[in-house]
Amino acid sequence: MTIDLDLTPSATDAAAASSPDAATAAPRERRHAVAGLYNLRDTGGYRAAGGTSRWGKLLRSDALHRIDATGRDRLAEIGVAHIIDLRGGDERATAPSAVDGLEVTVHHLPVFDDADPAAQATTHVGLVPVYDHIVDERGAQLVDAIRVIIAADDDDAVLVHCTAGKDRTGLVVAFALAAAGVDRDDVVADYAATA
């Protein structure tokens, strides 16, 4: 399976792709300043077969409960039309996304059930067993997230988030970038930028 992240190279994207390290060539451009978010990043500009991943198509962030009207306006300017929320119901109830008034479709695709012991296990058993659990037990949610990304209109940005925008978000974004043919080193660098 391949994912079309619109790998048509623009002049800017072509210049970024020809740099020795596209993953770190423009880290400030990759980050978006949005009030209430500390980890909003664009996955555009990564080398892939046939070009580079398109800027403004796939974004990743931490939870959206701290954004205000200015933050919502900025997300609208960026073009966010779909939000994939990977948090469980308890997490969403504790810190509900502040997206009222933003014209988006929110897709709740929890990677952990509220009672799922794997959600609490990262500090006790490490991340590898947790990732194995996610892939083995919550693969349907991962596939659904990728389907949302694939189905989004060309002009629509998709924002993927969990609580911190690290592990669950990183896994979904890594799968999407890998499926789009993004260079493995860039997939790893994107994931590690939040670790």
- Domain extents for the chain? 11-109+139-192
CA angle, 173 then 177 then 182, to 5°: 150
pTM of the model: 0.81
Q: Which fold has domain 11-109+139-192?
A: Protein-Tyrosine Phosphatase; Chain A (3.90.190)
Distance of CA 6 to the CA centre of its chain: 16
> Percent of the chain beyond pLDDT 90?
59
| Structure-model confidence comparison of residues 124 and 127, the more confident one | 127
**pLDDT, tens only, 142-155:** 999 999 999 999 99
**pLDDT, tens only, 169-186:** 999 999 999 999 999 999
Catalytic residue of the set 3, 80, 162, 177: 162
Asked if 31 is an active-site residue, the reply is no
CB 60 within 8 A of CB 159: yes
Which class for 150: exposed (0-12), middle (13-18), buried (19 or more C-beta within 10 A)?
Answer: middle
